[in-house]
Amino acid sequence: MQIDSMKTFCDLAETKSFTRAAQINGVTQSAVSQTITALERQFTTRLIERSKRNSQLTREGHIFYEACKGILETYDSLRAKIKETQASISGRFHASAVYSIGLHVLPPYLKAFMKRFPTVNVRVSYSHSDEIYEQVFGNAVDLGLVACPVRHHGLEIVPLQKEPFVVICHPAHPLAKLKSVKLKSLSGEKFVSLEAGLPTRRLLDRIMKSQKVTARHVMEFDNFQTVKRAVEIESGISVVPKGVVKEELVARTLAAVPLEGNFSRQLAAVYKRKKAMSSALKEFVAMLKKPLPS
């Protein structure tokens, strides 16, 4: 029995899908099936109950899964410790970020990290929050970068920076002349917003409710990029994290007005609990926790 076989079994147990287990390990579904069959022959017992919808662990499979997880965690810890003794930080990791972080917050950190550790291979992909949690749980990525983190059993959450909210509008809008604005004064304004249900939208809805603001949502989108384009053509105003409008403020296609009060959203890194982090990933998370020198 090899480490790779145990990892494949654990991935199948956690995803309940031969297809997902094959994708995570970069093999075919047939190869996953052959691995499970070989393990069942070795232990002379059925470990997985197969069905068309999903695959469930048998009683023996649960016992085997818990034992395998312990072995894999010990193995990952040993490998991480050995790597830490090396003179230079190297290796690779895969991070998945929500679009607003990946497009606006992450680039300067990535540039600084790659300059400091040129031998580390960093892969970054963009996804929505719910997909990122699934990717971290399924071992498809090593790290997730989200806004307004949600606690999940089995996940570690590392708080990063807080992003202040600002009101954005067309430069010709009356609000653009103000040095600051109270949320209460925005009642009745036409709002271009994120879609209801997205983490940042849920936070903004709670803030609006606490401030007794009645927002008229005239347009809703699933990303800030489209929100900004709609505000640029005077479809309404919006409340967004300050960092997502840096380029538009320089180009003067949008105006940003600070909000009176301490309104912000929390950014966070998430990773699977008890999963050993490589030295490179530890350095990356440590860098994300600190503001970059201006």
Which homologous superfamily does the CATH classification assign to the domain defined by 91-161+266-288? Answer: Periplasmic binding protein-like II (3.40.190.10)
pLDDT confidence of residue 162: 93
Q: What is the pLDDT of residues 6-58, one digit of tens each?
A: 999 999 888 888 888 899 998 998 999 999 999 899 999 999 988 766 788 99
The confidence score (pLDDT) of residue 293 equals 59
* Mean pLDDT computed over 127-153: 92
List, for residues 83-132, the tens digit of each pLDDT value: 665 546 778 899 999 999 999 999 999 999 999 898 899 999 999 999 99
Q: What's the burial of 39, exposed, middle or buried (CB within 10 Å: 0-12/13-18/19+)? A: buried
Q: How many residues does the chain have?
A: 294
Question: For 203-245, what is each residue's pLDDT tens digit?
Answer: 999 999 999 988 899 999 999 999 999 999 999 999 999 999 9
* Residue predicted with more confidence, 90 or 186: 186
Rounded (10°) CA dihedral 202, 204, 209, 211: 160
Q: What residue type is 73 in one-letter code?
A: E
Instruction: Assess whether the region 91-161+266-288 and the region 162-264 belong to the same CATH fold.
Output: yes
- Stated pTM of the model: 0.69
One-letter amino acid at 37 equals T
The predicted structure's pLDDT at residue 291: 82
**Are 124 and 95 in contact, with CB atoms under 8 Å apart?**
yes
DSSP for 2-67, written as a single string: -HHHHHHHHHHHHH--HHHHHHHHTS-HHHHHHHHHHHHHHHTS--EE--SS--EE-HHHHHHHHH
Q: How far does CA 213 lie from the centroid of its chain?
A: 30
- Residue 294: the pLDDT is 53
Distance CA 201, CA 221 (A): 10
Domain 162-264 fold: D-Maltodextrin-Binding Protein; domain 2 (3.40.190)
Q: What 8-state DSSP symbol labels residue 153? A: T
Beta strands in 127-174 (DSSP E): 143-147, 155-169
pLDDT tens readout for residues 238-288 = 999 999 999 999 999 999 999 998 899 999 999 998 788 888 999 999 999
Domain 3-84 bears CATH identifier 1.25.40.10: no
Residue 1: pLDDT band (50, 70, 90) is low
Contacts 24+ apart (CB under 8 A), 17-26: 17/54, 17/55, 18/55, 20/138, 23/140, 24/138, 24/139, 24/140
Element (H, E) at 202: helix 199-210
- Residue 135 clears pLDDT 90, i.e. is over it: yes
Query: Residue 196 corresponds to which tokens in the numbers above?
Result: 């209801």
Mean pLDDT over each residue of the chain, to the nearest integer: 90
Residue 215 is predicted with a pLDDT of 86
**Domain layout of the chain by residue ranges:** 3-84, 91-161+266-288, 162-264
Confidence of residue 76 (pLDDT cuts 50, 70, 90): confident
User: What does the alpha-carbon distance between residue 277 and residue 89 come to, in Å, rounded to a whole number?
Assistant: 13
